Amino acid sequence: MTAPAATRRPRARALTAEAGPLGLRVPVRTALTCAALLLAGFAAFLASVVMGTYAVPLNDVLGALFGYGDGAADLVVHTLRLPRALTAMLAGIAFGLAGAVYQAVTRNPLASPDLIGISAGAGAGAVATILFGGVTAAGAGTFGAVPYGALGGALLTAAVIYAFAFRGGTITGYRFVLVGIAAAGALAALTRWMLARADIDQAARAMVWLTGSLNGRSWSHVEWIGYALLILLPLTLALARAYQLLQFDDATALSLGMRLHRARIVLLIAATCLAAVATSVAGPVAFVALGAPQIARRLAGTAGVPLVTSGLMGAVLLLAADLAGRLVLAPTELPVGIVTGAVGAPYLLYLLARSNRAGRGG
């Protein structure tokens, strides 16, 4: 029976675009949210380059960017702040996308790389590279081996978690999170064991990286994560339909013709690689991958986790956290991981309380 006209719920307005057989429909609120996040991200990026212990006027920043600035501005902008801001922006995008994919695939808002062991796996792999691979620092000159250690550790961890969480032809978000938390604990113990066996100088360098820091980031970090995102971003966006369908129950996704197991594995591999490359340049930064998708969902007003919006929110969060860490206690600088952890702890408690009220807290 058709509902009376007075009681029908109006459809949300949307922006549509068509190119041949392809079509795109974006709700107006989502589009406006993305536009607002782009503006906020640009403002945070600009503030990261301008503000600091040595303030650089905007005109001098523009001069340094276009090749007519003085020597001091060129040094501060090109060598110190611009690579750091670009690394924060790209790592934030990667963390936000990784968190969105994990939460959508498992249908659990607590399924975040930093909670379920993926970041811990990347951290263990990177620390092993720093301590036992002859890497003398996590900085520019010897950075080359660290990303591969982080990527290998994250992929191995994801494979183990998936293998233990897979039962009866499928996985549930609750079991996936529980297995991931157990893996995170085991990997944290492994990392502490490696640090205990290392000499004091190596352990100190590894501990700085494990805290999560963007200090001293150089163009080699920007190149690594930039090239990685050139591969991973198109792959993740190409899986947008599978991403949307996996947010429904398995029966619905199967009825719409999805190869469920394969789609889930490919998306999880993409998300794991995103988390690993972000961790390799910024360290295991907490909260960004956990909070960005949920904040983006509330801002966009969508039922599911919005993919692109989550990536933009991740960039805004990491840029803002790094800027706050530099300015709040200046001239003392707080690592970005401490800032995000201080914000993320109460947010995690809120998510747990909300899940319990909704009957999903276990």
How many Å apart are CA 66 and CA 32, to the nearest integer?
31
What is the pLDDT at residue 61?
A: 75
- Report CA dihedral (112, 261, 150, 116) to the nearest 10 degrees: 30
How buried is residue 224: exposed, middle or buried, by Cβ count under 10 Å (0-12/13-18/19+)?
A: buried
Instruction: Give the domain 37-352 fold.
Output: ABC transporter involved in vitamin B12 uptake, BtuC (1.10.3470)
The C-alpha atoms of residue 137 and residue 130 are separated, in whole angstroms, by 7
Pairing of strands 22-27, 14-19: antiparallel
The angle subtended at Cα 337 by Cα 231 and Cα 288, nearest 5°, is 50
Query: In 10 A of CB 87, how many CB atoms?
Result: 25
Cα distances (angstroms) measured from residue 87 to each of 27, 298, 335: 30, 26, 14
Question: What tens-digit pLDDT sequence spans the chain (362 residues)?
Answer: 444 444 444 455 665 544 444 445 667 888 899 999 999 999 999 888 888 777 777 777 777 777 666 667 777 777 888 899 999 999 999 999 999 999 988 888 888 888 888 889 988 988 888 887 655 444 434 456 778 888 889 889 988 988 888 776 667 767 888 889 999 999 999 999 988 888 887 787 778 778 888 888 888 889 989 999 999 999 999 888 888 877 777 666 666 666 777 888 888 889 999 998 998 888 888 889 988 998 999 888 888 888 999 999 999 999 999 999 888 877 778 888 888 888 877 877 776 677 656 555 44
204, HSE (Cβ side, Cα atoms, 13 Å): 3
pTM of the model as a whole: 0.85
So what's the pLDDT on residue 114? 85
Domain ranges across the chain: 37-352
DSSP secondary structure string, 162-212?
HHHH-BTTB--HHHHHHHHHHHHHHHHHHHHHHHHHS-HHHHHHHHHHHH-
Q: How far apart are CA 54 and CA 48, in angstroms?
A: 12
Residues 6+ apart with CB under 8 A from 173: 106, 107, 108, 111
Q: How far apart are CA 299 and CA 292, in angstroms?
A: 10
